[in-house]
A = this chain, B = another copy of it.
Amino acid sequence: MTRNEQLHTEQGRFIAGVSEELTGFLEAQRELMATVSPDVDPLVTSISTLVTGGKRLRAQLCYWGWRGAGGAAGDPRIFTAGCALELFQAAALIHDDIIDRSDTRRGGPSVHRRFSQLHEASGWALDNDRFGHAAAILTGDLCLSFSEEAFTRIGSRAAAGTDARRIFNLMRAEVMAGQYLDILEEVAGPVRDSKGSVDRARSIIRYKSAKYSTEHPLGLGGALAGAPHDLLDAYSRFSLPLGEAFQMRDDVLGVFGDPETTGKPAGDDLREGKRTVLVGFALNMASNDQAAYLDAALGKPDLSEEEVGDIRRIMVDSGALDATESLIADLSNEAFAGLEQLPLEELPLTALRHLAEAAVSRAA
Protein backbone atom coordinates (compact mmCIF):
# COMPACT_ATOMS: atom_id res chain seq x y z
CA MET A 1 0.00 0.00 0.00
CA THR A 2 1.24 3.47 -0.81
CA ARG A 3 1.09 6.20 1.81
CA ASN A 4 -1.99 7.67 0.12
CA GLU A 5 -3.78 4.33 -0.04
CA GLN A 6 -3.00 3.71 3.61
CA LEU A 7 -4.35 7.15 4.46
CA HIS A 8 -7.57 6.72 2.55
CA THR A 9 -8.17 3.25 3.93
CA GLU A 10 -7.70 4.44 7.48
CA GLN A 11 -9.76 7.59 7.01
CA GLY A 12 -12.52 5.62 5.29
CA ARG A 13 -12.59 3.16 8.18
CA PHE A 14 -12.91 6.00 10.66
CA ILE A 15 -15.72 7.73 8.76
CA ALA A 16 -17.59 4.43 8.42
CA GLY A 17 -17.04 3.79 12.13
CA VAL A 18 -18.44 7.17 13.08
CA SER A 19 -21.50 6.58 10.88
CA GLU A 20 -22.03 3.18 12.45
CA GLU A 21 -21.70 4.62 15.96
CA LEU A 22 -24.16 7.40 15.10
CA THR A 23 -26.66 4.87 13.78
CA GLY A 24 -26.40 2.70 16.88
CA PHE A 25 -26.60 5.68 19.23
CA LEU A 26 -29.66 7.13 17.53
CA GLU A 27 -31.42 3.77 17.26
CA ALA A 28 -31.07 3.33 21.02
CA GLN A 29 -32.46 6.83 21.54
CA ARG A 30 -35.32 6.05 19.18
CA GLU A 31 -36.22 3.01 21.29
CA LEU A 32 -36.09 5.08 24.45
CA MET A 33 -38.32 7.73 22.87
CA ALA A 34 -40.78 5.04 21.79
CA THR A 35 -41.35 4.28 25.49
CA VAL A 36 -42.57 7.88 25.86
CA SER A 37 -44.84 7.90 22.80
CA PRO A 38 -44.71 6.90 19.12
CA ASP A 39 -45.53 10.56 18.43
CA VAL A 40 -42.00 11.71 19.29
CA ASP A 41 -40.32 9.61 16.62
CA PRO A 42 -39.98 12.55 14.16
CA LEU A 43 -37.53 14.25 16.55
CA VAL A 44 -35.04 11.37 16.33
CA THR A 45 -35.74 10.85 12.62
CA SER A 46 -34.93 14.46 11.78
CA ILE A 47 -31.66 14.21 13.72
CA SER A 48 -30.65 10.97 12.03
CA THR A 49 -31.50 12.36 8.59
CA LEU A 50 -29.32 15.37 9.29
CA VAL A 51 -26.27 13.43 10.52
CA THR A 52 -26.20 11.13 7.51
CA GLY A 53 -25.07 14.05 5.34
CA GLY A 54 -22.10 16.35 5.76
CA LYS A 55 -18.37 16.11 5.08
CA ARG A 56 -17.45 15.08 8.64
CA LEU A 57 -14.65 17.67 8.54
CA ARG A 58 -14.66 18.16 12.31
CA ALA A 59 -14.65 14.44 13.03
CA GLN A 60 -11.74 13.95 10.61
CA LEU A 61 -9.72 16.72 12.23
CA CYS A 62 -10.42 15.17 15.62
CA TYR A 63 -9.26 11.80 14.33
CA TRP A 64 -5.95 13.06 12.96
CA GLY A 65 -5.39 15.14 16.07
CA TRP A 66 -5.74 11.91 18.01
CA ARG A 67 -3.50 9.91 15.68
CA GLY A 68 -0.90 12.68 15.62
CA ALA A 69 -0.73 12.55 19.41
CA GLY A 70 -0.21 8.79 19.41
CA GLY A 71 -3.79 7.51 19.65
CA ALA A 72 -4.37 4.04 18.18
CA ALA A 73 -6.18 3.67 14.83
CA GLY A 74 -8.99 1.34 15.91
CA ASP A 75 -9.71 2.76 19.36
CA PRO A 76 -13.50 2.93 19.85
CA ARG A 77 -13.16 6.09 21.96
CA ILE A 78 -12.19 8.22 18.97
CA PHE A 79 -15.21 6.93 17.05
CA THR A 80 -17.36 8.03 19.96
CA ALA A 81 -15.69 11.45 19.96
CA GLY A 82 -16.43 11.79 16.23
CA CYS A 83 -20.05 10.84 16.90
CA ALA A 84 -20.31 13.52 19.63
CA LEU A 85 -18.87 16.20 17.31
CA GLU A 86 -21.27 15.29 14.49
CA LEU A 87 -24.23 15.45 16.89
CA PHE A 88 -23.07 18.82 18.17
CA GLN A 89 -22.79 20.10 14.61
CA ALA A 90 -26.30 18.83 13.85
CA ALA A 91 -27.67 20.62 16.94
CA ALA A 92 -25.97 23.86 15.89
CA LEU A 93 -27.34 23.57 12.33
CA ILE A 94 -30.91 22.95 13.50
CA HIS A 95 -30.97 26.14 15.58
CA ASP A 96 -28.90 28.08 13.04
CA ASP A 97 -31.45 27.34 10.33
CA ILE A 98 -34.24 28.70 12.54
CA ILE A 99 -32.20 31.84 13.24
CA ASP A 100 -31.24 32.35 9.59
CA ARG A 101 -34.68 31.28 8.31
CA SER A 102 -33.02 28.77 6.00
CA ASP A 103 -35.53 26.41 4.45
CA THR A 104 -33.03 23.93 3.06
CA ARG A 105 -30.10 22.06 4.51
CA ARG A 106 -27.87 19.43 2.88
CA GLY A 107 -30.17 19.14 -0.11
CA GLY A 108 -33.36 18.58 1.90
CA PRO A 109 -35.73 20.70 3.94
CA SER A 110 -34.28 22.10 7.17
CA VAL A 111 -35.66 20.64 10.40
CA HIS A 112 -38.17 23.43 11.08
CA ARG A 113 -39.43 23.04 7.51
CA ARG A 114 -39.74 19.27 7.99
CA PHE A 115 -41.99 19.84 10.98
CA SER A 116 -44.09 22.48 9.28
CA GLN A 117 -44.49 20.12 6.31
CA LEU A 118 -45.54 17.35 8.71
CA HIS A 119 -48.12 19.76 10.13
CA GLU A 120 -49.48 20.56 6.66
CA ALA A 121 -49.52 16.94 5.52
CA SER A 122 -51.34 15.85 8.69
CA GLY A 123 -54.04 18.51 8.44
CA TRP A 124 -53.33 19.77 11.96
CA ALA A 125 -54.79 22.96 13.39
CA LEU A 126 -53.27 26.39 14.13
CA ASP A 127 -50.12 27.75 12.49
CA ASN A 128 -47.75 25.34 10.72
CA ASP A 129 -44.70 27.63 10.75
CA ARG A 130 -45.04 28.31 14.43
CA PHE A 131 -45.29 24.58 15.09
CA GLY A 132 -42.24 23.96 12.89
CA HIS A 133 -40.11 26.49 14.78
CA ALA A 134 -41.16 25.19 18.19
CA ALA A 135 -40.52 21.57 17.23
CA ALA A 136 -37.11 22.46 15.78
CA ILE A 137 -36.09 24.34 18.94
CA LEU A 138 -36.88 21.17 20.93
CA THR A 139 -35.16 18.88 18.41
CA GLY A 140 -32.01 21.03 18.57
CA ASP A 141 -32.08 20.89 22.37
CA LEU A 142 -32.45 17.11 22.28
CA CYS A 143 -29.58 16.84 19.82
CA LEU A 144 -27.38 19.07 22.01
CA SER A 145 -28.06 16.75 24.95
CA PHE A 146 -27.32 13.70 22.78
CA SER A 147 -24.00 15.22 21.76
CA GLU A 148 -22.91 15.56 25.36
CA GLU A 149 -24.27 12.14 26.26
CA ALA A 150 -22.10 10.65 23.52
CA PHE A 151 -19.09 12.69 24.60
CA THR A 152 -19.36 11.49 28.20
CA ARG A 153 -19.42 7.87 27.01
CA ILE A 154 -15.78 8.24 25.99
CA GLY A 155 -15.12 7.64 29.69
CA SER A 156 -12.16 8.66 31.82
CA ARG A 157 -10.27 10.46 29.03
CA ALA A 158 -13.23 12.88 28.76
CA ALA A 159 -14.08 13.02 32.48
CA ALA A 160 -14.34 16.13 34.66
CA GLY A 161 -11.02 17.97 34.88
CA THR A 162 -9.46 16.58 31.69
CA ASP A 163 -8.11 18.72 28.85
CA ALA A 164 -10.60 17.07 26.49
CA ARG A 165 -13.55 18.10 28.66
CA ARG A 166 -12.16 21.63 28.95
CA ILE A 167 -11.89 21.90 25.15
CA PHE A 168 -15.37 20.42 24.63
CA ASN A 169 -16.88 23.00 27.02
CA LEU A 170 -14.91 25.84 25.48
CA MET A 171 -15.98 24.79 21.98
CA ARG A 172 -19.65 24.92 22.93
CA ALA A 173 -19.50 28.23 24.78
CA GLU A 174 -17.36 29.93 22.14
CA VAL A 175 -19.45 28.90 19.17
CA MET A 176 -22.64 30.11 20.87
CA ALA A 177 -20.92 33.39 21.73
CA GLY A 178 -19.68 33.65 18.14
CA GLN A 179 -23.15 33.04 16.75
CA TYR A 180 -24.47 35.78 18.98
CA LEU A 181 -21.77 38.18 17.74
CA ASP A 182 -22.86 37.31 14.21
CA ILE A 183 -26.55 38.15 14.73
CA LEU A 184 -25.53 41.20 16.80
CA GLU A 185 -23.39 42.58 13.98
CA GLU A 186 -26.29 42.24 11.55
CA VAL A 187 -28.36 44.63 13.66
CA ALA A 188 -25.68 46.72 15.43
CA GLY A 189 -23.21 46.93 12.52
CA PRO A 190 -25.20 49.64 10.71
CA VAL A 191 -25.02 51.98 13.72
CA ARG A 192 -21.48 51.18 14.82
CA ASP A 193 -18.30 52.75 13.54
CA SER A 194 -17.55 51.09 10.21
CA LYS A 195 -13.80 51.45 10.89
CA GLY A 196 -14.12 48.54 13.32
CA SER A 197 -16.12 46.38 10.94
CA VAL A 198 -13.22 44.27 9.65
CA ASP A 199 -12.01 43.54 13.20
CA ARG A 200 -15.52 42.67 14.32
CA ALA A 201 -16.04 40.40 11.33
CA ARG A 202 -12.74 38.65 12.04
CA SER A 203 -13.77 38.10 15.64
CA ILE A 204 -17.05 36.52 14.50
CA ILE A 205 -15.15 34.24 12.12
CA ARG A 206 -12.71 33.25 14.83
CA TYR A 207 -15.34 32.19 17.37
CA LYS A 208 -18.24 31.13 15.22
CA SER A 209 -16.18 29.21 12.69
CA ALA A 210 -12.44 28.80 13.09
CA LYS A 211 -12.22 27.75 16.72
CA TYR A 212 -15.30 25.61 16.43
CA SER A 213 -14.68 23.97 13.05
CA THR A 214 -10.93 23.42 13.06
CA GLU A 215 -9.01 24.40 16.21
CA HIS A 216 -11.17 22.70 18.84
CA PRO A 217 -11.90 19.44 16.96
CA LEU A 218 -8.17 18.96 16.25
CA GLY A 219 -7.23 19.86 19.82
CA LEU A 220 -9.95 17.63 21.21
CA GLY A 221 -8.57 14.61 19.38
CA GLY A 222 -5.09 15.46 20.60
CA ALA A 223 -6.22 15.94 24.19
CA LEU A 224 -8.10 12.62 24.18
CA ALA A 225 -4.85 10.91 23.19
CA GLY A 226 -3.05 12.71 26.03
CA ALA A 227 -1.22 15.35 23.95
CA PRO A 228 1.04 17.65 26.00
CA HIS A 229 0.19 21.36 25.93
CA ASP A 230 2.98 22.29 23.54
CA LEU A 231 1.52 19.92 20.93
CA LEU A 232 -1.94 21.41 21.48
CA ASP A 233 -0.43 24.89 20.98
CA ALA A 234 1.29 23.76 17.78
CA TYR A 235 -2.04 22.33 16.58
CA SER A 236 -3.63 25.75 17.16
CA ARG A 237 -0.93 27.61 15.19
CA PHE A 238 -1.90 25.48 12.20
CA SER A 239 -5.66 25.11 12.65
CA LEU A 240 -6.79 28.56 13.73
CA PRO A 241 -5.53 30.44 10.62
CA LEU A 242 -6.74 27.50 8.52
CA GLY A 243 -10.25 27.85 9.94
CA GLU A 244 -10.24 31.61 9.37
CA ALA A 245 -9.12 31.20 5.77
CA PHE A 246 -11.75 28.50 5.26
CA GLN A 247 -14.58 30.71 6.52
CA MET A 248 -13.42 33.75 4.55
CA ARG A 249 -13.36 31.60 1.41
CA ASP A 250 -16.93 30.60 2.29
CA ASP A 251 -17.93 34.25 2.62
CA VAL A 252 -16.40 35.15 -0.75
CA LEU A 253 -18.21 32.21 -2.38
CA GLY A 254 -21.44 33.41 -0.76
CA VAL A 255 -21.27 36.55 -2.91
CA PHE A 256 -19.14 35.56 -5.91
CA GLY A 257 -19.61 31.78 -6.04
CA ASP A 258 -21.39 29.91 -8.78
CA PRO A 259 -24.83 28.91 -7.41
CA GLU A 260 -24.65 25.66 -9.39
CA THR A 261 -21.46 24.69 -7.57
CA THR A 262 -22.18 26.09 -4.10
CA GLY A 263 -25.78 24.85 -4.04
CA LYS A 264 -27.11 28.11 -2.61
CA PRO A 265 -28.41 31.23 -4.38
CA ALA A 266 -25.71 33.88 -4.79
CA GLY A 267 -26.45 36.92 -2.68
CA ASP A 268 -28.34 35.15 0.09
CA ASP A 269 -25.65 36.13 2.60
CA LEU A 270 -26.25 39.76 1.56
CA ARG A 271 -30.02 39.40 1.87
CA GLU A 272 -29.50 38.00 5.37
CA GLY A 273 -27.35 41.00 6.19
CA LYS A 274 -24.21 39.03 7.04
CA ARG A 275 -21.40 41.48 7.80
CA THR A 276 -18.37 39.51 6.70
CA VAL A 277 -14.73 40.58 6.39
CA LEU A 278 -15.38 41.18 2.68
CA VAL A 279 -18.26 43.50 3.54
CA GLY A 280 -16.13 45.20 6.20
CA PHE A 281 -13.36 45.95 3.68
CA ALA A 282 -15.93 47.26 1.19
CA LEU A 283 -17.49 49.59 3.77
CA ASN A 284 -14.05 51.06 4.46
CA MET A 285 -12.53 51.09 0.99
CA ALA A 286 -15.48 52.18 -1.17
CA SER A 287 -16.53 55.80 -1.69
CA ASN A 288 -18.92 57.28 0.86
CA ASP A 289 -21.84 56.95 -1.57
CA GLN A 290 -21.03 53.36 -2.39
CA ALA A 291 -20.59 52.50 1.30
CA ALA A 292 -23.97 54.06 2.08
CA TYR A 293 -25.56 52.08 -0.76
CA LEU A 294 -24.04 48.85 0.57
CA ASP A 295 -25.07 49.64 4.15
CA ALA A 296 -28.66 50.20 3.11
CA ALA A 297 -28.79 47.11 0.88
CA LEU A 298 -27.51 44.64 3.48
CA GLY A 299 -30.33 42.69 5.12
CA LYS A 300 -32.94 43.58 2.49
CA PRO A 301 -34.72 40.24 2.01
CA ASP A 302 -35.89 41.24 -1.49
CA LEU A 303 -32.51 42.31 -2.87
CA SER A 304 -32.68 41.91 -6.68
CA GLU A 305 -30.11 40.18 -8.89
CA GLU A 306 -29.24 43.63 -10.21
CA GLU A 307 -28.58 45.02 -6.74
CA VAL A 308 -26.44 41.97 -5.95
CA GLY A 309 -24.54 42.78 -9.16
CA ASP A 310 -24.06 46.39 -8.00
CA ILE A 311 -22.66 45.19 -4.68
CA ARG A 312 -20.30 42.80 -6.44
CA ARG A 313 -19.01 45.68 -8.55
CA ILE A 314 -18.48 47.84 -5.45
CA MET A 315 -16.52 45.01 -3.84
CA VAL A 316 -14.33 44.55 -6.89
CA ASP A 317 -13.79 48.22 -7.79
CA SER A 318 -13.03 49.32 -4.24
CA GLY A 319 -10.35 46.66 -3.88
CA ALA A 320 -12.30 44.93 -1.09
CA LEU A 321 -12.28 41.58 -2.87
CA ASP A 322 -8.53 41.83 -3.47
CA ALA A 323 -7.94 42.77 0.17
CA THR A 324 -9.98 39.75 1.29
CA GLU A 325 -8.19 37.40 -1.10
CA SER A 326 -4.88 38.72 0.12
CA LEU A 327 -5.88 38.09 3.74
CA ILE A 328 -7.02 34.58 2.83
CA ALA A 329 -3.63 33.98 1.19
CA ASP A 330 -1.78 35.27 4.28
CA LEU A 331 -3.82 33.08 6.60
CA SER A 332 -3.35 30.05 4.35
CA ASN A 333 0.40 30.63 4.32
CA GLU A 334 0.37 30.92 8.08
CA ALA A 335 -1.59 27.69 8.37
CA PHE A 336 0.73 25.76 6.05
CA ALA A 337 3.79 27.14 7.85
CA GLY A 338 2.19 25.94 11.09
CA LEU A 339 1.54 22.57 9.52
CA GLU A 340 5.19 22.09 8.56
CA GLN A 341 6.20 22.81 12.17
CA LEU A 342 4.03 20.03 13.55
CA PRO A 343 6.11 17.29 15.18
CA LEU A 344 4.00 14.50 13.67
CA GLU A 345 4.60 11.23 11.90
CA GLU A 346 4.14 11.24 8.18
CA LEU A 347 0.68 9.67 8.01
CA PRO A 348 -1.22 12.17 10.22
CA LEU A 349 0.84 15.03 8.75
CA THR A 350 -0.14 14.04 5.21
CA ALA A 351 -3.77 13.63 6.24
CA LEU A 352 -3.86 17.11 7.77
CA ARG A 353 -2.19 18.55 4.66
CA HIS A 354 -4.88 17.02 2.45
CA LEU A 355 -7.66 18.34 4.68
CA ALA A 356 -6.09 21.80 4.70
CA GLU A 357 -5.63 21.90 0.94
CA ALA A 358 -9.24 20.87 0.38
CA ALA A 359 -10.39 23.53 2.82
CA VAL A 360 -8.67 26.53 1.27
CA SER A 361 -8.82 25.69 -2.44
CA ARG A 362 -12.48 24.76 -2.74
CA ALA A 363 -14.98 26.36 -5.06
CA ALA A 364 -18.06 25.24 -3.09
**A positions within 8 Å CB-CB of B:** 29, 32-33, 36-37, 39-40, 43, 91, 95, 98-99, 119, 122-126, 131, 133-135, 137-142, 144-146, 148-149, 152-156, 158-161, 165, 169-170, 172-174, 176-181, 183-184, 186-191, 203, 207, 273, 299
Contact A165 B190 (CB under 8 A): no
In angstroms, Cα B32 to Cα A301, docked, is 35
Once A144-B144, A183-B131 are accepted as A-B contacts, the answer to whether A32 and B173 lie under 8 Å apart by CB is: yes
Q: List 10 A-B contacts (CB under 8 A).
A: A91-B141, A95-B137, A99-B133, A124-B191, A125-B191, A142-B176, A142-B177, A145-B173, A156-B159, A159-B159
Task: Output the nearest chain B residue to A137 by Cβ-Cβ distance.
Answer: B95
Contact B191 A145 (CB under 8 A): no
In angstroms, Cα B169 to Cα A142, docked, is 10
Which 8 pairs, one residue from A and one from B, show the smallest C-beta to C-beta distance?
Answer: A124-B187, A125-B190, A99-B134, A145-B172, A40-B177, A36-B177, A142-B176, A152-B160
Across the interface, which residues of B come within 8 angstroms of A184, CB to CB? 39, 135
- Say how far A76's CB is from chain B's closest CB, in angstroms: 13
Across the interface, which residues of B come within 8 angstroms of A148, CB to CB? 145, 148
Contact B33 A173 (CB under 8 A): yes
Contact A131 B36 (CB under 8 A): no
Main secondary structure on A side of the interface with B = helix
- Say how far A101's CB is from chain B's closest CB, in angstroms: 9
Among B37, B133, B172, B191, contact of A177 (Cβ-Cβ < 8 Å): B37
Across the interface, which residues of B come within 8 angstroms of A189, CB to CB? 125
Contact A138 B173 (CB under 8 A): no
Once A160-B154, A172-B145 are accepted as A-B contacts, the answer to whether A177 and B43 lie under 8 Å apart by CB is: yes
Across the interface, which residues of B come within 8 angstroms of A181, CB to CB? 36-37, 39-40
In angstroms, Cα B133 to Cα A142, docked, is 19
Task: Output the nearest chain B residue to A187 by Cβ-Cβ distance.
Answer: B124
Across the interface, which residues of B come within 8 angstroms of A207, CB to CB? 36-37
Q: Which of A33, A152, A190, A207 gathers the greatest number of chain B CB atoms within 10 Å?
A: A152
In angstroms, Cα B185 to Cα A283, docked, is 49
In angstroms, Cα B165 to Cα A155, docked, is 12
Contact B183 A169 (CB under 8 A): no
In angstroms, Cα B172 to Cα A32, docked, is 12
- Say how far A188's CB is from chain B's closest CB, in angstroms: 5
Across the interface, which residues of B come within 8 angstroms of A135, CB to CB? 180, 183-184
Task: Output the nearest chain B residue to A185 by Cβ-Cβ distance.
Answer: B39
Contact A137 B178 (CB under 8 A): no
Once A95-B137, A145-B173, A159-B159 are accepted as A-B contacts, the answer to whether A43 and B188 lie under 8 Å apart by CB is: no
In angstroms, Cα B141 to Cα A148, docked, is 12
In angstroms, Cα B17 to Cα A14, docked, is 45
In angstroms, Cα B287 to Cα A255, docked, is 61
Contact B174 A95 (CB under 8 A): no
Among B133, B145, B203, contact of A37 (Cβ-Cβ < 8 Å): B203
- Say how far A184's CB is from chain B's closest CB, in angstroms: 6
Task: Output the nearest chain B residue to A142 by Cβ-Cβ distance.
Answer: B176
- Say how far A79's CB is from chain B's closest CB, in angstroms: 15
Across the interface, which residues of B come within 8 angstroms of A40, CB to CB? 177, 180-181
In angstroms, Cα B126 to Cα A29, docked, is 40
Contact A149 B123 (CB under 8 A): no
Contact A123 B29 (CB under 8 A): no
Contact A174 B126 (CB under 8 A): no
